[in-house]
Chains A and B, each alone.
Chain A
Amino acid sequence: DIQMTQSPSSLSASVGDRVTITCRASQSISSYLNWYQQKPGKAPKLLIYAASSLQSGVPSRFSGSGSGTDFTLTISSLQPEDFATYYCQQSYSTAGFGQGTKLEIK
């Protein structure tokens, strides 16, 4: 099984901040990495697929990068609606998710 590890587990930031969340795979997964945003009481929402492709309708302040084992999700300028939990997910083999990163208001 491929293990996905996100860091940090939680993060406090302010509106307007630039934020980066990291996801590391236990083995190379090429670019087969997706990012989701989940707000309390809601289903996860796809943000980024294939490491760096922005899902339709997702604001351009979200971006993804990386390949192999190391990936990042960046929010260029935090907006109030961005405070949520973020998950990475690899599609290289049997679907596996990271443990999540909770982004909180400072």
Chain B
Amino acid sequence: QVQLQESGPGLVKPSETLSLICTVSRGSISSSSHYWAWIRQPPGKGLEWIGSINHSGSTYYNPSLQSRVSISADTSNNQFSLKLNSVTAADTAVYYCATYGDYFVFVYWGRGTLVTVSS
């Protein structure tokens, strides 16, 4: 089964850019049958879909974050990344990467990585 692993800084200063990478194994991000997504969960709150990218590089973002988010793919390393700019304390969350197919059903997830926004 596809495996995903998030990586990146655990601490980001306010107003700076949060950057995370998801490394995919046992699957290819070039696969036309998969979409690759970022999801987050602030402490004590529910899950929030951030955005997705497909094999051709098309991206889809949650309207609530669209102005600050960018997702890209690195096919040579079988990775995709998240950038969220102008972060505030409200962006403190566990960030997950996940994958889905034709339907927006997240079949495989990473274990998540906690990112804290603090000076």
The yes or no verdict on A and B being binding partners is no
Q: CB within 8 Å of A: which residues of B?
A: none
Binding site for B on A (CB under 8 A): none
